[in-house]
Amino acid sequence: MIEVRAPAKLNLGLEVLRRRADGYHEIETVFVPLRLFDRMLLKRSPAGRGIGARRSAGADLPVDGTNLVVRAPERAPPRSAFRWTCACGSRNRIPIGAGLGGGSSDAAAALLGLEALSARELPRELRRKLALELGADVPFFWTRSRRSARGVGEQLAGAPGHSRDALGAGGLPVQISTAWAYTEAGRELTLPRDPTSIAALLRPAGLLSPPRNDLEAVGARRHPEIREAQRSLARAGALATGMSGSGPTVFGRFEDERAAQRAAETVEVPAGARTIATSSPGSASADWTAGSWRWGVAKR
């Protein structure tokens, strides 16, 4: 049996650049992995049993083909040799439907676990192909540090020069359709266009001002709770606030992790919201591989 830990992510800013012929929008954003993760247990079982998933107690997760954890290993050999048992519930579990990438991260972790169980790595191009079939942001979760992203989120580049960010985040009790948010935002934007502000997030100053998110205005008009939560984070000491991706999760950048923790415990947010204090890694090194925040695979 092995344990795989799958981190959440935030989008720091998001600019919509153009609409493609296939209906998708090209974007520019910065993905930041968080010290907030799902934990999965995977084990080998007799050949021919196929692939299955089991949710842990209290976890509201589907166990059929709608779950990317099930679909991920089905697309990769040797698919008939394993039965997958997934426990995705822990004190720091990624909220479902919060725009934090939980499903995509779990899918990437399932492929990582497949490699560990079969004692061999998938070819690089096959890994990328499988990841893109599952979702545009799945390739990001093979990395261990923040990345700038273009295309539909699959074109990744390094984003060096940052120290670790202390973040407070609030997952609001509303749902925003990503497709709806892009459609509404597209009606208000003059496309195509060149990116204007995301590059600023890659400088050492980081988030000294709110990052631009072209989907934020339409989301906030439908759900005023988004602005209310941002104002509350600012009153609690956030240096800057923003909305992650298409929402509804909002975040604030704080001076340090202690300040983020105080804000998470005291900030006033709409009823039903969940607040957390977390941080991004300062690098791809021991910060992610030591202790309880292990990113990768551990045998049990």
The pLDDT score that the predictor gives to residue 213 is: 92
Which residue type does 80 have? Answer: S
Task: List pLDDT tens digits, range 84-123.
Answer: 444 433 344 777 777 788 888 888 887 777 777 777 777 7
Q: Which residue from 132, 162, 167 is spatially nearest to 145, judged by alpha carbons?
A: 162
The ranges assigned to domains in the chain are 2-159+286-299, 166-279
**Joined tokens for residue 110:** 């399932």
Q: Is the full-model pTM beyond 0.85?
A: no
Instruction: Give CA torsion, residues 188, 190, 191, 196, to 10 deg.
Output: -100
179 DSSP assignment? H
From the candidates 9, 106, 214, 287, give the one annotated as an active-site residue: 9
CATH code, 2-159+286-299: 3.30.230.10
163-179 residue pLDDT tens: 567 888 888 888 888 88
Annotation marks residue 129 as catalytic: no
Structure token pair of residue 250: 């909002």
Instruction: Say yes or no to pLDDT of 197 above 90.
Output: no
Q: Is residue 9 annotated as a catalytic residue, yes or no? A: yes
> Considering 38, 106, 137, 165, which one is annotated as catalytic?
137
At 224 the pLDDT is: 93
Name which CATH class applies to 166-279: alpha beta
Phi-psi region of 156 (alpha: psi -120 to 50; beta: other; left: phi over 0): beta
Residues 23-61 have pLDDT tens digits of 889 999 989 888 888 877 777 665 544 445 554 544 555
Task: Return the percentage of the chain with pLDDT > 70, whole number.
Answer: 70
